[in-house]
Amino acid sequence: MNVEDFQPNKQLLLHAVALLTGAEASIPSEPLPSELPEVGIGSIDALQAMFDDVLGKSRDLGAPGFFAHMDPPTPAITWAMHLWTASRNQNLLHPDTAPRARELEKLAVDWIAPWFGMSGGHMTPGSTVANLTAIWAARESGCRIVVSGSGAHLSIRKAAHILGMEHRIVDDWSNTGDLTNAVAVITAGTTSTGEIEALDAASDARWRHVDAAWSGPLRLSDRYRHLLDGIEKADSVAISAHKWLFQPKESAFVLFADHESAHKTISVEGAYLAVPNIGVLGSHGAIAAPLVAMLLAFGREGIADLIDKSMALADELAALVMAEKDLELRSSPNCGVLCWRHRNVTVDDIKRHLPDDVMVSSTSINGEQWLRSVAANPNANPAKVVAGVMQAAEQASRK
């Protein structure tokens, strides 16, 4: 390597874009070696060698048959921003190394926080870390136990474990016992079924955290905003931008009703730092840039349209499932999450026989297996998804 390898290499970057857009065909490459080399092959050959693993054989999450997990396709403007941010490698830990990137993150936080009645917060690599951060702040405010519903995401159990707190699961938010030393974690959009728990629950808890990792962006939709009414009374909120804000991973927010006080309790000073280090992360990249760029390009309205469209696709899938006598719908979609199954063929058999261009996920509810579709893909074609499942059922039955 030499100095030029740190400069913008136009030939390399144009080649990368040409492969990405299909303007240049990829030359079939050998599978990657199991051990990485002592002597390199050069940047252009390395790009070619990486094609299959990064692009060619990756899942196209925006394909019409994909209606499965909480992982969306991402708009091209965000790809461009990832290229730029990688080239500059700013570190928000130090104002010196991120003179503008810190302001970009503040712009994004200041834009999103008021939708949730929050005063501010910061970005994290996902809601797992956002939940951990919020529960850490709750612990610093005197909470000793974590209380959640049974549908809470596993990150809540992890956070309690890491923070040395007891985790209690309640079946009924109206019957929780004393919560004066508890952080109540209310899930807005449970991972398996998309249920929005009562956002006014646990009003006597010392701290109320709403995990809106999936559903949070509904707050941007004129049509569906009301589903999250009450969230503004929380002490903290987690939202994954790499789910329904169509951001490349890893991108999320932890927001606080009083972010200045909360940040103070989860900040650590360091001799080498000009400003206190807030939250769980140390080094922290310019992950707000793709979101700010997407907002500039499409506005709040553009994102809300995508969410509305995704919700409509979940309804369309539900109607198709109900119209098919061999399919069973568990319940109408909750914030874009739908559980369904074939009446005669097991979920495992369906998944085993699905055509390559159709993907649904699965979940276990009270010990029963269900197919699960999450409306993260606004380009999905529900008819194709149902046809794929019916085809898989037919194939499985023939065996």
Per CB under 6 A, contacts with ligand PLP among 53-72 are: 70
Q: Can you say whether the dihedral through the CA atoms of 316, 319, 323, 325 is positive or negative?
A: positive
Q: Report the residue number, 310 or 381, with the smaller CB distance to ligand PLP.
A: 310
Q: Report the residue number, 213 or 358, with the smaller CB distance to ligand PLP.
A: 213
Which residues sit opposite 240 in a β-bridge? Answer: 252
Minimal distance, residue 240 CB to ligand PLP, in Å: 4
Minimal distance, residue 138 CB to ligand PLP, in Å: 16
Cα separation, 143 vs 38, whole angstroms: 52
Residue 250: is the preceding peptide bond cis (ω within 30°)? Answer: yes
| DSSP output for 19-51 | HHHTSSPPPP-PPPPSS--SS---HHHHHHHHH
Q: Report the residue number, 266 or 393, with the smaller CB distance to ligand PLP.
A: 266
Q: Does 191 bind ligand PLP (CB under 6 A)?
A: yes
In Å, the largest CA–CA distance within the chain is 69
For ligand PLP, what does the binding mask look like between residues 318 and 347, x meaning CB under 6 A? ------------------------------
> Helices 76-88 and 288-323: crossing angle, nearest 10°?
150
The residue with its CB nearest to ligand PLP is 126
The helix/strand/coil state of 189 is: coil
Stretch that binds ligand PLP, among 15-23, 186-194, 202-210, 267-275 (CB under 6 A): 186-194
Q: Report the residue number, 15 or 168, with the smaller CB distance to ligand PLP.
A: 168
Q: Does 279 bind ligand PLP (CB under 6 A)?
A: no
Q: Does 353 bind ligand PLP (CB under 6 A)?
A: no
Residue 76, burial from CB neighbour count under 10 angstroms (0-12, 13-18, 19+): exposed
Give the residue among 174, 163, 110 at the shortest CA–CA distance from 137. Answer: 163
The helix/strand/coil state of 238 is: strand
Q: Does 213 bind ligand PLP (CB under 6 A)?
A: yes
Q: Which residues of 341-360 are buried (b: 16+ CB within 10 A; e: fewer)?
A: bbeebebebbbebbeeebbb
For ligand PLP, what does the binding mask look like between residues 232 and 271, x meaning CB under 6 A? --------x-----------x-------------------
Q: Does 360 bind ligand PLP (CB under 6 A)?
A: no
Q: Report the residue number, 132 or 380, with the smaller CB distance to ligand PLP.
A: 132
Minimal distance, residue 69 CB to ligand PLP, in Å: 8
For ligand PLP, what does the binding mask look like between residues 91 and 130, x meaning CB under 6 A? -----------------------------------xxx--
Q: Which of 48, 90, 148, 155 binds ligand PLP (CB under 6 A)?
A: 155
Cα separation, 298 vs 120, whole angstroms: 23
Q: Report the residue number, 121 or 388, with the smaller CB distance to ligand PLP.
A: 121
Count of residues engaged in binding ligand PLP, rule: CB under 6 A: 15
Give the residue among 387, 141, 389, 399 at the shortest CA–CA distance from 258. Answer: 141
Write out the two tokens for 280: 């769980």
Q: Which residues are near ligand PLP by CB under 6 A?
A: 70, 126-128, 131, 153, 155, 187, 189, 191, 211, 213-214, 240, 252
